[in-house]
Amino acid sequence: MSVRGRPRRRRWLWKGLAAAALLTVAAVGLYGAWLFLRIDGRFSGQRWQLPSKIYSDVTLLYPGLEINRRLFADQLDRLEYRPVSRPPARPGEQRIGAGRIEIYLHELKTPDRVREGFPVEIAVAGDRISRIRHRGTGETLPMLELEPEEIDLFFGPERERRRLISIEEVPDHLIQAVLTAEDNRFFRHHGIDWKGILRAAAANIRHGEIRQGGSTITQQLAKNYFLSPERTIVRKLRELLMAVLIELRYDKRTILEMYFNEIYLGQKGSTSINGIGEASWFYFGKPVEDLQLSESAAIAALIRGPNAYSPYLHPERCEKRRRHLLDQMREDGVIDEAAWREAMEHPVSPVGYEVFSKRAPYFVDYLSRQLVEFYSPEDLASLGLSIYTTLDPQVQQAAETALRKGIERIEKRHPRLVRKGRERLQGALVVLQPRTGAILAMVGGRDYGESQFNRVTQARRQAGSTFKPFVYLAALDRLTPVSILSNTPVTYTVDGRTWEPKNYSPSDRRGFRMREALALSVNRATVHLAMDIGIDKVIETAAGFGFSTPLPAVPSLALGAVDLIPLELARAYGVLAAGGTQAYPLSIRDVQDQEGRTLERRSVTLKQVISPAKAYLMTSLLQSAVTEGTGRALLSKGIDFPVAGKTGTTNNNRDAWFIGYTPDLLILVWVGFDDGTPVLESGATAALPIWADVAAAVPHRISGLDFAEPPGIVRKSVCFEDTENIPPLPCQDFREEIFLEDMVPEDDGFFSKPGAFFDRLLRKFKREKSQN
Amino acid sequence: MKSHRIENPLWIGLAGMLTAALLGCQPMRLPPPTGDRPAPPVEGSAPAEPAPRVEKAPSEATPQLHASVTLTETGRALLEAGRTDAAIREFERAVSLNPHHGPGYYYLAEAWLAKGNTSQAETFHQLARLHLRDRPEWKQRLSAQSNRLQRGKAGG
């Protein structure tokens, strides 16, 4: 080796080392830049996946309103009002006594307003609200709103629950408690706390295993956001680099805010509690700004082990760590002696929670199908939308209970109907407000876990006699309630096959008046009527109600040999209930984004389908079906307010229906097997009792008012004697009937016109003469 | 339906003839349903539209009617404040509590007119006409609303 060669080689060596160093710096720089961009991209965009929430409608309370105490109490529970034995002093507390209900209301947030929580006293006499008083001001209130109930969330795969908060809302003592527990030098380091790392390293060497990480809050944020949970050197180095970059990019308060919104703080059923905003409600039932020091310490104590120190799961461990943390805060001088003593003397007690279960799942499915037309499932799982709906939680609860019990009763009466799994006897129930189209409750089957098929919106079931009102309606331009319909047997030939309609209850009467024929659901008379006015006319009339399924032009259509979707049938009956107007079914009211901007707002949309007078006349006929016809069992079930309704039973009892309405509420009930196995009962015995149970359970939705008579209706007394026999003199059976004003029959009654008397006298004379 | 059987047909028949001859025989009409009659607009004043007014429910009214009047009043205040969407919600709640509440429909028509949706406004106007037909104090307002609807439709 020459002497001259050595310096050259050394120079090359140095150059090589310098190049390697440069390359390393460049690589780290590039990697850092890439990480920086990643951090920036991640944090400047949407930071968290926020599930969208579905809310029920608000609940209105006002003096005079009759309430169902049990359903009301259940609703308060679901709204997380916790019972106390003293007058409620904080939001979320309630005390129910015999004559009064005291509530400290939560904050109310609806698309149109925000209302602070306040204490209220509701005086109740019997089951009626007699007075509502603001306990703070003593003022009597004409009306009170209970906040909407959270009925479901659209979760992403992480199933995280989170309520975002801003750092301004976080009380100082909570910040101090978290920093004391996790990173007490947070405001003094730049993302990495070397002292903390050395301390952790010493502890790990001492124990011979990795016990402490010495991670700063910034490192924890980097780890939670970007890194996998395993403990490796490479991952640790990456975490350190990211922590420094985060500190370079964001100020301390922003980092703290992100951390507060990010951290995992417990478990509620299958969903995780993330962020102190959500944790504050989950553990203490209040917004973060209302937390006391003692509660803040408990939340801070949770960070190290949300389940190990959970006040729900391990209250003693939680309390021990909370006290330890308070001691540490006092030692560090972040709280004074008085605050420490106060917090130590007040052990925390969590508010309790209900494990989230699906509420109104068929309803949620129904509106989800509408929502996905506008929002992808990913958006719904991440954008944190608030979806306000028309659901009335009390009506929903009543509907679910009534359907379940009603079906069980049928199974008890007919043990051979008991089957397992998806083959079980099923039911469907929907409750609508006819005037607005608002869907208050929907039960698409007896067990959503077992079968998600929504029988209200997806099933096509034979309508049976529930279709008859549309036949009678089609005839109103030619006939009146007193018109006599033939009940004589007739055979029809359809597609080469003969068909002879038979009555459900055999009758040898030759005719029925129209009112009676519909009330008693007389098949032959109805088919005669349909054939008389023409099946095409029936189809044309029914088509106006918006049925989407085909209406076959066959005589048996008159008896409901047509498959209909229950919701559409309910909507069609709604026209009769709402004076001839049809309301578009409404389930979603508003959709708001996280910032409270309204993205979607749906309003009541009406269409006049038939005249108010025709709707009223049909309603009157259907009232007779309830008071004197196939639905008369309602009276024995305590339904003493005006109801119009129709039973329906299809061939071989495959479907049992009852659809009934008041001016305020329409309820449709269907019972049957998915595969068409007979239910062995009629609409009157299988479906009607379920209807009665729901109606009786929701007095707050039924005013008891009668249907209002519109213009175009004429009331008149007419002779009801059998016209086939010449009546005795004078007519002895006058009854008041209602008519469309242009369909009032000629006078044949004694009172109507003096001439009628002589007319009848002449007829009687002729009859006697002919008999002689 | 009511049913009455006449026990002494001849006497009652003669009485009926006499009554019919004296009074003429008009179809019997039941009294209109009660419970939907809030007090007139500002008492003693001619209805001007859309002027603020105080609604009152009559003492015999149902709780639902009282509540619907309260909601309509709230909605009216919102409408005047220019918060039309919020007002619509209140009016919708009013008519859902009491489907015969004419003023609720009237103001729904007003709100939809304010939003320029004459088709919706027309539907609610017709319902208002139906439910306020026995309320002379509303006649002028309804006519004025009808005129504005026509102008709205003509203006596209």
pLDDT in tens, A12-61: 888 889 999 999 888 888 888 888 887 777 777 767 788 899 999 999 99
Minimal Cβ distance to B70: which of A143, A579, A581: A143
Report the C-alpha gap between A451 and A217 in whole angstroms: 47
pLDDT at B52 over 50: no
Is pLDDT at A747 greater than 80 in this prediction?
A: no
Tell me: pLDDT of A429 over 70: yes
In A45-114, alpha helices (H): 69-78
CA distance to A69, A148, A159, A302, per residue, from A354 (Å): 20, 17, 16, 20
pTM score: 0.81
Neighbours of B51 (CB within 10 A): 12
Q: How far apart are CA A158 and CA A124, in angstroms?
A: 45
Query: ipTM above 0.85?
Result: no
Residue percentage of chain A with pLDDT more than 90: 63
pLDDT at A30: 86
The pLDDT tens digits for A268-316 are 877 889 999 999 988 988 889 999 999 999 999 999 899 899 999 899 9
Residues of chain A in contact with residue B35, where contact means CB-CB under 8 angstroms, are: 705
pLDDT at B5: 38
The one-character DSSP state at A226 is H
B3, B19, B25: best to mutate for the A interface, most A CBs within 10 A: B25
pLDDT of residue A179 exceeding 70, the answer is yes
**C-alpha A713: how far from its chain's center?**
39
Using 50, 70 and 90 to split pLDDT, how confident is the model at B27?
Answer: very low
The Cα–Cα gap between A192 and A243 comes to: 7
Could A730 and B29 be called an inter-chain contact, meaning their C-beta atoms sit closer than 8 Å? no
Q: Is A598 helix (H, G, I), strand (E, B) or coil?
A: strand
Instruction: Count helices and strands (H / E) in chain A.
Output: 23, 32
A583: three-class secondary structure by DSSP = strand
Strand order in the sheet with A93-96: A82-83, A93-96, A100-104, A119-125, A128-134
What per-residue confidence (pLDDT) applies to A349?
A: 83
The pLDDT assigned to A191 comes to: 85
8 A C-beta contact, residue B124 and residue B112: yes
CA–CA separation, B43 and B30 (whole Å): 28
Looking at residue B16, what is its pLDDT? 39
What is the per-residue pLDDT for A766?
A: 62
Shortest alpha-carbon distance between residue B155 and chain A (Å) = 22
Helix (H) or strand (E) holding A283: helix A275-284
A569-573, A740-744, B20-24: least confidently modelled range: B20-24
More confident residue, A211 or A242: A242
Residue numbers in A near B78 (CB within 8 A): 112
* pLDDT at residue B120 greater than cutoff 80: yes
Please tell me the distance in Å from A736's CA to the nearest CA on chain B. Answer: 6
Please list the active-site residues of A.
182, 465
Residues B82-93 have pLDDT tens digits of 999 999 999 999
CB-nearest partner of B99 from A64, A435, A601: A435
* Pair of tokens at residue A637: 């079930």
* pLDDT score of A379: 87
How crowded is residue A473: how many other Cβ atoms within 10 Å of its Cβ? 22
Q: Which residues of B touch A708 (CB under 8 A)?
A: 32-33, 36, 100, 131
Rounded to whole angstroms, how far apart are CA atoms B32 and A558? 34
Q: What is the DSSP letter of A376?
A: -
Task: Please provide the average confidence, as pLDDT, over all residues in chain B.
Answer: 72
The DSSP string of A156-220 is -TT-EEE----GGGS-HHHHHHHHHHH-TTGGGSSS--HHHHHHHHHHHHHHTS-------HHHH
Q: Do A60 and B97 touch (CB under 8 A)?
A: yes
Average pLDDT of every residue of chain A:
89
- The answer to whether the CB atoms of A436 and B63 lie below 8 A apart is no
Q: In chain B, which residues have their Cβ closer than 8 Å to the Cβ of A663?
A: 99-100
Which DSSP letter does residue B61 get?
-
Q: Are A332 and A173 in contact (CB under 8 A)?
A: no
Record: contact A606-B123, CB cut-off 8 A: yes
| Predicted pLDDT at B11 | 42
Q: What is the three-class DSSP state of A138? A: coil
B111 Cβ under 8 Å from any chain A Cβ? no
In this structure, what DSSP letter does residue A742 have?
A: G
CA distance A665 to chain B (A): 9
Model confidence at B25: pLDDT above 50: no
| Tens digits of residue pLDDT in A99-108 | 999 999 999 9
Which of the pair, A320 or B4, is modelled with greater confidence?
A: A320
According to the model, what pLDDT value does residue A426 have? 97
Structure tokens at A150: 């959270």
The pLDDT value recorded for residue A750 is: 45
- Helix, strand, coil distribution of chain B in percent, nearest 5: 60, 0, 40
- Cα–Cα distance measured from residue A144 to residue A5, given in angstroms and rounded to the nearest whole number: 96
Distance, in Å, from the CA atom of A585 to the CA atom of A431, rounded to the nearest integer, reads 11
Mean pLDDT computed over A552-574: 96
C-alpha–C-alpha distance, residues A508 and A502, integer Å: 11
Q: Is the pLDDT of residue A76 over 70?
A: yes
CA angle A620/A622/A627 to nearest 5° reads 90
A63, A436, A752: residue with CB nearest B92: A436
Mean pLDDT, rounded, for A209-215: 67
Higher confidence at residue A726 or residue A274? Answer: A274
The answer to whether A81 and A96 have CB atoms below 8 angstroms apart is no
Per-residue pLDDT, averaged over B99-109, amounts to 96
How far is it, in rounded angstroms, from Cα A609 to Cα A611? 7
* Total beta-carbon pairs less than 8 A apart between chain A and chain B: 139
pLDDT of residue A348: 84
- Cα A117 from Cα A169, distance rounded (Å): 17
Alpha helices for A670-740 (secondary structure H): 688-697
Q: What is the pLDDT of residues B57-81, one digit of tens each?
A: 555 578 999 999 999 999 999 999 9
Residues of B in contact with A592 (CB under 8 A): none
pLDDT at A771 over 70: no
Packing angle of the helix pair A172-182, A217-226 (nearest 10 deg): 80
The tokens for A155 are 């979760």
Q: A389, A589, A750, A758: best mutation site toward chain B, by most B Cβ within 10 Å?
A: A750
How does DSSP assign A332-364, residue by residue?
TTSS-HHHHHHHHTS------------SSHHHH
Summarised one tens digit per residue, pLDDT across range A476-526 is 999 999 999 999 988 988 778 888 888 877 777 888 999 999 999 999 999
pLDDT at B43 over 50: no
- How confident is the model over A519-541, as pLDDT tens digits? 999 999 999 999 999 999 999 99
Per-residue model confidence (pLDDT) at position A484: 92
Maximum distance among all Cα pairs of chain B, rounded to whole angstroms:
68
State how far the Cα of A525 lies from the Cα of A605, in Å rounded to an integer.
Answer: 37
Distances (CA, A) of A417 to A537, A677, A678: 40, 9, 9
- Across A476-495, b (16+ Cβ under 10 Å) vs e yields beebbbbbbbbbeeeeeeee
Alpha-helical segments (H) within chain B: 9-23, 63-80, 84-97, 102-114, 118-131, 139-154
Contact (CB, 8 A) for A492 and A536: no
Residue A95, phi then psi, degrees to nearest 5: -140, 120
In the block, residue with structure tokens 């076959």? A552
CB atoms within 10 A of CB A130: 14
For the CA atoms of A168, A172, A178, A181, what is the dihedral angle to 10 degrees? 160
The answer to whether the CB of A223 falls within 8 A of the CB of A250 is: no
**Would the pLDDT of B118 be above 90?**
yes
Chain B environment of A730 (Cβ under 8 Å): 6, 9-10, 13
In angstroms, the CA A405 to CA A685 distance is 14
Dihedral over Cα of A236, A241, A244, A249: its sign: negative
DSSP-based three-state secondary structure for A238: helix
State the number of CA atoms in the 13 A half-sphere of A428 facing the CB: 29
| pLDDT at A211 (0 to 100) | 59
Smallest CA–CA separation between B47 and chain A, in Å? 24
d(CA A388, CA A57): 7
Closest chain B residue by Cα to residue A111: B86
Q: Between A65, A605, A734, which is nearest B63 by CB?
A: A65
Query: What count of other Cβ atoms lies within 10 Å of the Cβ of residue B40?
Result: 17
pLDDT value, residue A760: 59
Share of chain A above pLDDT 70, in %: 93
CB contact under 8 A, B2 and A433: no
Give the tens place of pLDDT for each residue, A635-674. 999 899 999 999 999 988 999 999 999 999 999 999 999 9
